[in-house]
Amino acid sequence: MGEYGGADNLIVLNSQFVFASSDYKTVDGIGVGSLEAEVLEKLGKPNLKTKTGWGYKSGDYAAFYLYFEEGVVKYMSIGMPS
């Protein structure tokens, strides 16, 4: 079903990777600890926006998600096509 990576703070679910460490960043430098304003500046407006998460499209579905706590990225996740 899933696996928790422990020290590297990487959670692997069926077709999704969830990052909980600032060690992992996008090519634009966005990662855990980034501010909402920083994300908007570098990645632009999200395709999907809820109170706690933003989704960005890659192809036909939103495959990249950022989850916020108090305006700061707490988790990043990438969905992999099945």
Query: Tens digits of per-residue pLDDT, 12-52?
Result: 667 788 899 999 999 999 999 999 999 999 999 999 999 99
Under 8 Å between Cβ of 19 and 76: yes
Q: What percent of the chain has pLDDT over 70?
A: 79
43: how many CB neighbours lie within 10 A of its CB?
16
* 2-79 is a CATH 3.30.530 domain: no
Residues forming a β-bridge with 25 = 31
pTM: 0.80
Burial class (CB in 10 A: 0-12, 13-18, 19+), 49: exposed
pLDDT of amino acid 10: 66
Query: Tens digits of per-residue pLDDT, 60-70?
Result: 765 899 999 99
Q: Higher confidence at residue 18 or residue 2?
A: 18
